[in-house]
Structure 1
Amino acid sequence: MNWKNDLTQILKISYPIIQGPFGGGYSSISLSAAVTNLGGMGSFGAHHLSHDEILTLDNQLKTNCKGTYAINLWVKNDNYKDFSNQDFEKTKAIFKPYFEELNIPVPDKPVLTEGHSFDNQLEAILKTKPPVFSFVFGVPDESIIKECKKRGILTLGTATTVEEAVLLEDAKVDAIVATGFEAGGHRVAFEDEPENNLIGNISLIPRVVDAVKTPVIAAGGIADGRGIAAAMVLGAKGVQIGTAFLACQESNASIAHKKVLFSQKAEKTVLTKSFTGRLARGTDSTLARETLQDASKLAPYPIQGQFMRSLRNAALQNNRLELISFWCGQSAPLIKSKTAKGFFTALKMETESVFNEMADIA
């Protein structure tokens, strides 16, 4: 099987296998480097980091990665600035019983600073020049894409619909990740509410491929070689895999999170805004189900996530896992490997086996 194509040439990688970027502290230098050094592309979710922290991060990635890697940011969103103290009182009322159940105080409204703003983070990206700048939740201004090209930084944007993919192509990104609703973590829609953009990969990928000329990377619900082969048959030039890499020992997910990904709890996932203020797929939980009807009263990102941090920590410490949704895609039950090397090797062998079988049939 010949793995080389337009995407591998653009990214200068041996295999079109990309590790999904995990924000919120779930990424690690170890995992990003492992995937890059195996011939794929490692990624690091940096939306929670400051300007100076991104500079330090890139130095560490440059030291440990012997190939192409990506640093991922969330395109700016200032919706939280309109969220009043009166609004926050409604949010507190919803979650007060859960804080009381864990015998911890209900936090005050988080105070946000501009230190982690998209503009400040972007300044660090342009200064440190990682091989790839990937982003979600929007399209940066045209001037930003041009500035990246001037500095030799490749750009990779993410779409949840055909319309979003076309906008990314119009912005002249180098590759487009088309992510289906099967994916774990946040639904990164930006043209409409994410609840209106729940399209599965088997429908999304060929539609996006037909609509754009930019290389398409399939994401969501891919956890083995069969998924890679299917994505390529649908027209994708590569894949981005999140949950299965999150389960590897090299990721920065907690031990409890990794255990859940290998357990029966991963069989059922839900979409919820209760833990961060943005729609995300995670394991089923009592709290997520009980607060499903209260979405309109939740605080926006990042206020909701900071507000819920102490509850999440207390639930983990007390083994009250029913009060937590662990980020998890729909194909988590397919996960078998616990190391990045073992998983990457299996992906190559399984994909090649599928295509060899298809060749035999033909």
Structure 2
Amino acid sequence: MLNNEMTKLLKIKYPIIQAPMAGGVTTSKLVAEVSNSGGLGMIGAGYMTPVQLREQVREIKELTSNPFGVNLFVPNEFQVTENEIQSANQFLNPIRQQLNLHSKEQFEISHFNDVFEKFVEQIKVVMEEKVPICSFTFGIPSEEVIAELKQSNIILMGTATTVTEAVENEKAGMDIVVAQGSEAGGHRGNFINSSQESLIGLMSLIPQVVDNVSIPVVAAGGIMDGRGLIASICLGAMGVQMGTAFLTCMESGAQKVYKEAILNANEDQTVFTRSFSGKWARGIKNKFILEMQKHEPLLPDYPVQNTLTQDIRKTSAAQNNQDFISLWSGQSPRLAKSQTVESLIKNIITEAKKLSSMEAR
């Protein structure tokens, strides 16, 4: 049950993928430990420069000889006006004042061409460094990019929040598709319908995706233990991708204040917000989300809003203040534990084996 087409394809012992959490959570130690413990470690490279990505890939190769992967954000066209930036800053400046930050009017906003150029360079790094697995969020790369990666024998994984998106991933040539249920923490991976129309719960999503694609399906969203793994497999998935469970591990790069927020949260404290980045994401409700809620419809899209809130998030984190940082979390924070990666994976597999032997009886 725990060895299947997907584990063979990825050359991993257990059908467990550590979700690629961008923004410093996926340290080299975390990624390598997951791979060393029989799962698949993933670098969340969305915000990294190509140079930073290359450095981390080389660092991980020193720590593990097992396969690991890189996750990239597929760039989407975006427009922003000076007025939008000014009005967003008007909403953000009172928060800056609470943190003793100077009100900001001038920001270095990236243009789409810069974002796209960075993506092309990141792809080059993945190929040059011979990273065996590459996954994508927020869309599907171009035919040319997919063909290049395939020529380099890189296994490709896409993200889908609906059956339609999963079908598109398969058509485009993805080898595996991650079905992201609405329970998942962090950003929504939707790219066809709006975020609101793509909030299908994982238990409904998995069997419908499995019935409509022939590539292996990985379940993501609120899975924290062996029960979640076995339930996903029973519904037709070949493995799971877990974020929050790894985020509170010792090896994760999440700030102490962030880990503590998850370890002390309940299931009814996570909400969707686009206040931090301009893209809908699930996280633990805090002061920033509550203060920005009424302005959400007027905020610029990702990645503009993400740039505008950067100084607030950095300062709040430096002050160990959880009021103004993005506390991304899935819907099962009560199941989160402070433990090593090794013990997390060991516990998941022990529990899963116990459950499947009970089922076999």
For normalisation by structure 1, the TM-score amounts to: 0.94
Give CA-to-partner distance per residue, 1:228-261, whole Å, 9 cap, x none.
0000000000000001101101011001111111
Aligned to 1:187: 188
2:30, 2:242 → 1: CA distance? 13
Is the contact made by 2:29 and 2:60 (CA closer than 8 Å) also made in structure 1?
Answer: no
Task: For residue 109 of structure 1, report the CA deviation from its aligned partner.
Answer: 4.0
Q: CA deviation at 1:93?
A: 1.4
Structure 1 equivalent of residue 47 of structure 2: 48
Alpha-carbon distance in 2 for matches of 1:106, 1:280:
26
Task: In structure 2, give the amino acid aligned to 1:110.
Answer: F
Misfit runs of 4+, over 4 Å: 317-320
SS class of match (2:66): coil
What is the aligned counterpart of 2:80 among 72, 80, 83?
83
2: CA distance, partners of 1:13 / 1:318? 40
Q: Distance in 2 between the 1:200 and 1:119 partners?
A: 33
**Equivalent in the alignment of 2:328:** 327
Q: Is the 8 A contact 1:15 1:40 kept in 2?
A: yes
Higher mean Cα deviation, 160-169 or 110-119?
110-119
Structure 1 residue 57, shift from structure 2 partner: 2.1
Distance 1:156 1:107 in 2: 39
Could you report, residue by residue, the CA deviation over 1:168-217 in whole angstroms, capped at 9, with x for unpaired residues? 00011110000101011101100122122111100000000000000000
TM-score, with length taken from structure 2: 0.94
Residue 144 of structure 2 corresponds to 143
Aligned to 2:95: 98
Amino acid at match of 1:99: R
Measure the CA separation in 1 of the matches of 2:248 and 2:7: 25
C-alpha deviation, 1:65, in angstroms: 2.1
Tell me, what secondary structure is at the counterpart of 1:178?
strand
Matched AA of 1:42: G
Shift of the alpha carbon at 1:99?
1.5
> What is the SS of the residue equivalent to 1:25?
coil
Q: How does 1:216-295 map to 2 (within 5 A)?
A: 216-264=217-265, 267-295=268-296
Which amino acid letter does the alignment assign opposite residue 39 of structure 1?
G
Q: Check 1:133–1:316 CA distance in 2 against 1; reply closer, same or farther (3 A cut).
A: closer
Which segments of 5 or more consecutive residues in structure 2 lack a partner in the other structure? Answer: none
Which is worse superposed, 32-41 or 101-110? 101-110
Task: Tell me if structure 2 keeps the 8 A contact 1:26–1:253.
Answer: yes
In structure 1, C-alpha distance between the alignment counterparts of 2:200 and 2:145, rounded to whole Å? 29
Size of the alignment, in residue pairs? Answer: 357
Per mean C-alpha deviation after superposition, the further-off stretch among 298-307 and 6-15 is: 298-307
Q: Helix, strand or coil for the counterpart of 1:288?
A: helix
SS at match of 1:221: coil
Are the counterparts in 2 of residues 70 and 130 from structure 1 also a CA contact under 8 Å?
yes
Equivalent residues of 2:248, 2:337 under 8 A apart: no
- State the Cα RMSD in Å: 1.7
Q: Retained in 2: the 8 A contact 1:4–1:15? A: yes
Q: Distance in 1 between matches of 2:269 and 2:326?
A: 11
**240-249 vs 328-337, which moves further:** 328-337
Contact 1:88 1:109 in 2 (8 A): no
1:306 positional shift: 2.4
Structure 1: gaps spanning 5 or more residues: none
Matches within 5 A, 1:13-32: 13-32=12-31
Judged with a 3 Å threshold, the aligned counterparts in structure 2 of structure 1 residues 26 and 337 are, in CA distance, closer, same or farther, namely: closer
Greater displacement, 250-259 / 137-146: 137-146
Sort the Cα spacing of 1:267 and 1:247 in 2 relative to 1 into closer, same or farther, 3 A: farther
Structure 1: distance between partners of 2:142 and 2:314: 37
Q: Is the 8 A contact 2:257 2:320 kept in 1?
A: no
Q: Aligned-pair distance for 1:119?
A: 1.8
AA matched with 1:180: G
Shift of 1:305: 1.9
Question: Cα deviations across residues 269-312 of structure 1 (Å, max 9, x unaligned)?
Answer: 01101111111111011321332232232122222222212222
Comparing 206-215 with 96-105, greater Cα deviation is found at 96-105
- In the alignment, the residues of structure 2 paired with residue 265 and residue 211 of structure 1 have an alpha-carbon distance, to the nearest angstrom, of 34
